[in-house]
Chains A and B, each alone.
Chain A
Amino acid sequence: MNNEHQNINTQLSSQEEAKVKEIYEDLAHWHVNTGDQTIHAKRMGGRFRQLKWFTASLWLSYFLAPYLRWDGQQAILFDIPDRQFHLFGLTVHPQDVWLLSLILILMAMVLFGVTAVAGRVFCGYFCFQTVWTDIFTWIEEKIEGNPTQRRKLDQGPLNGDKIKKKLIKHSLWTLIGVLTGVTFAAYFTDAYQLWIDYFTLNAHMSAWIVLGLFTLGTYFLAGWLREQTCLWLCPYARIQGVMYDRTTILPAYDAVRGEPRGKVKDPNRGSCIDCRLCVAVCPTGIDIRQGQQEGCITCGLCIDACDSIMEQVNQPKGLVRYASLNELEGRTDKPLLKRPRVIVYTSIILASFIGVIYGLSTMSAIDWHVLHQRQPLYTMMSDGTVQNKYTFKILNKTESEMRAHVEIKGPSDIAIIGIEDTIVLRADKMVPFDVYLRADPKQLPQEHTGITFILTTQTEPPMTFTYGSVIVRPAR
């Protein structure tokens, strides 16, 4: 492991000398986050910076999606008053809510699986908190300048320039908050009408509350709380630990290669020249060289920073890189597909994915429940027959009226009473009604005899639905 050390060239050209001087000049500003100072992270380019921009741009779809139309309707609409969820051509009713839980399981498992394999990918690249914070600090940098200038501005006197800059910054932050809020509300009502309602001050009270909460929430969480949210508020940041193992790859500092750290000219140093640029760029203000820690959101920006330095001092990149504990300690990782966690997570993901596909493809136009009367289970009639009462709850989930016919299939002659030959199922409506079955108790083989209701719609093509129930007679 000392081979690396011998490769270090401590003799630098004058050009490199100047670069190094520049690197160290900033040094005094950067220290580890203790929560008592606003973190002004340095922004610089690199592979992970680009990746972060790309993943952040996926959030644009959040802002645009409410304006999509499908068949003259809003493509994505959570219609709470009507208890419907429209997703393009698909309408999901509360009865299909098990699908939602499967989708949630699917998402949770993808999250867990990805975390087990590659750490807090969600935190680093997709989380609204980190993405919005990233945008907010980007705006801050555009207006107030680089971290050094910002710190100076914060400490400086309140003059015209400071007021102007702060005013612009906070207005832009608020504007993003407002947009975030309006967009969220737009998923629950007609998006275009919502803008009109907001501008004419006619919006529903709940729309104003949503707007207010989201504006304030976005402004404070992304503008003021920033990384403190990840450190103290976010529960997911805390459960990451149980999902990591020795094979999880994370942005990590290769201490074997890097230590002992020292200034460039120190002949005994490892690869780390102790420039603290990795601390400077960290949005949560941690020092990655202290090893795995709760503050790390695995955004990879320290990798960009370190690589740029390694390039300048002519050393191989990757002193800070995505690596597992095993790799850092010189052990080999188990192959990906042989890790128990990967297998378990993948199977649950597959199972719930299949379930969702099954659910979506078999979602029926009618939701039908037949409830057998509990008390009493049967009634004896004057002609010696036994009568059972059932409540039919048929929900027509389509947008058009349907006609249907109901018949009964059982082991003996069973008369169906109280239902018209053709029943009308009104569009998107459920009106329960009672139906009676009458049978000769002598013909019923068991006390509880299984029967099947068959509902056939008079549509083109006809659809048939069955519902299993029982008919009850007194014990002999």
Chain B
Amino acid sequence: MSNQRRPEEAPDTGHEWDGIRELTNEPPKWWTICFYASLLWCVVYFILYPSIPLINGPNEGLLGWTSIKEYKAEVAKYDEQRAPYVSKLEGMSAEAILKDQEMLNFANSYTNAIYGDYCAACHGTSGQGAEGRFPTLLDDEWLHGGSIAAIQESVTYGREGQMPAFAGQVSDADIGKLADFVIALSQGNQGSDTDWALYEESGCGMCHADNAKGWTDAGAPNLTDAIWRFGSSKDEVVRTIAHGVNAEGVAETRNAVMPAFEGRLSENDIKLLAVRVWSMGGGQ
């Protein structure tokens, strides 16, 4: 394929640099072929694909190709592959999914994006929460119950903590005593009779139950276990007792509101989120 003359035979252009002559050889044939092939390809490309900028966007091209169409086709293909699993998940109850490890893994992958969008902002990317502000989903303490149904309910309708502010109703000294008492309870101590009397007299048992083990229907936590929703130091406990949770008109009250997702997420998505939360380590 060579059309090159040897240096000694080829005429030159008269240009010479340090003994190197510029020859008048034509460009190599393979190069010329590639060059014209590229030109031809440009024409073909202009006809087939959008390439000429016009006033209302580029020409359409014979193939009608656009990147957004290609993207949508890819998404449709992906959805099609996923469809059998997704519809299988829809037909399964939360309990059934929890028993099927493969479907559970699929459900957990499926809810990655939903969890990230709707839950992770407060509860953390792996459900670790934020100490004192947003509860962790990994432990076995559930303010409103840790069964799959209770979790589903919490996500669907939201939750709002309620605890009255006791400052003014109970003396500061008694609030201090109560704080010492419940901290002692959480560390495994039994507490004296006078402590228990103060506990009952102040009305704590109305929600936290007479044995201080809490009442999930009211969202009242167990005071005898090691977990503290708003911090376990005496200062924090005193603040909670004095200013309450979501107490109206109290400046220093604790905020504890979980929004309702009914209407924002489909029933199926809520079910799968509940499954995810349940399987994070503390489901009951």
Contacts and interface: CB of A to CB of B under 8 A. Distances in A.
Interface in A351-400: 373-376, 379-384, 387, 389
A436 B225 contact: no
Nearest to A432: B105
Contact of A387 (B105, B139, B225): B139
A36 interface: yes
B140 A381 contact: yes
A30 B222 CA distance: 101
B188 interface: yes
Nearest to B136: A379
A474 to B, nearest CB: 11
B139 A431 contact: no
Interface of B: 2, 101-102, 105, 124-126, 128, 136, 138-141, 188, 222, 225-227, 279, 281-282
B226 A431 contact: no
Interface in A316-352: none
Nearest to B225: A382
B138 A36 contact: no
B102 A380 contact: no
Contact of A381 (B2, B105, B226): B226
Given A376-B126, A379-B281, A431-B101, 16 more contacts: A375-B125, A375-B126, A379-B128, A379-B136, A379-B138, A379-B139, A379-B282, A381-B140, A381-B141, A381-B226, A382-B225, A383-B225, A384-B225, A389-B138, A389-B281, A434-B279
B278 to A, nearest CB: 12
Contact of A382 (B102, B140, B279, B281): B140
Contacts of B128: 375-376, 379
Among B125, B128, B222, the one with the most A-chain Cβ atoms within 10 Å of its Cβ is B128
Nearest to A379: B138
Given A379-B281, A381-B139, A384-B188, A433 B101 contact: yes
Contact of B139 (A373, A374, A380, A434): A380
Contacts of B2: 35-36
11 contacts: A36-B2, A375-B126, A382-B140, A382-B222, A384-B226, A387-B138, A389-B138, A431-B102, A431-B105, A432-B105, A433-B105
Nearest to B280: A389
A384 B227 CA distance: 8
Contacts of B140: 381-382
A36 B138 CA distance: 76
A126 B139 CA distance: 65
A442 to B, nearest CB: 12
B223 to A, nearest CB: 11
A142 to B, nearest CB: 27
Nearest to A418: B281
Nearest to A382: B225
Nearest to A36: B2
Contacts of B139: 379-382, 387
Given A389-B281, A431-B105, A382 B138 contact: no
A373 B126 contact: yes
A380 B187 CA distance: 13
Interface string A109-122: 00000000000000
Contacts of A432: 105
Nearest to B138: A379
Contacts of B282: 379, 381
A379 B282 CA distance: 10
Nearest to B4: A36
Contacts of A379: 128, 136, 138-139, 281-282
Nearest to A384: B226
A382 B227 contact: yes
User: 4 closest A-B pairs (Cβ-Cβ)?
Assistant: A382-B225, A384-B226, A379-B138, A376-B128
A362 B124 CA distance: 42
Nearest to B186: A384
A426 to B, nearest CB: 10
A438 to B, nearest CB: 10
A376 B138 contact: yes
